[in-house]
Amino acid sequence: MKDVGTAEMINTILTALVIPLLGLLAKSLITYLKREIAGLEQRIGNEAVNQLLTRAADAVESAVIAVNQTFVEALKQQGSFDSAAMEKSLAMAKEKALILLGEALRKELSLVTDDLEAWIEAKIEVYVNRNKQL
């Protein structure tokens, strides 16, 4: 009879300890998984935004190079590149960049930048300055 009582007592003690421990373990595991998933989602989101900005910057750079080759260089060779021509080249680069970006990319960019045109103009200035240094 002692063996049955001892077995029941061990079973009761194990049940009293194991069930709460399993609950704590499950809660810890769920918390850990949620934190890892959130970190992964953030990395994926950051990578997506970075890829979006890279594609957009490439389009703006292409626009600047195209305007420089087709408009700016010709005027510089003629010696008639003045402030009016500079303004026109900015407008041309901006227009070409918007075309190269396309509607879908412009919509995506509007999610990550408040003023798309200001972003494009800033990028144009960056690429113009880089081209001057070459």
Mean per-residue pLDDT, 57-82: 93
At 94-105, the pLDDT tens digits run 999 999 999 999
Per-residue pLDDT for 59 more than 60?
yes
End-to-end Cα distance, the chain: 95
At 105-129, the pLDDT tens digits run 999 998 888 899 999 999 999 999 8
Q: In angstroms, rounded to a whole number, what is the distance separating the alpha carbons of residues 69 and 97?
A: 15
3-state secondary structure 20-64: HHHHHHHHHHHHHHHHHHHHHHHHHHHHHHHHHHHHHHHHHHHHH
Q: Are 124 and 64 in contact (CB under 8 A)?
A: yes
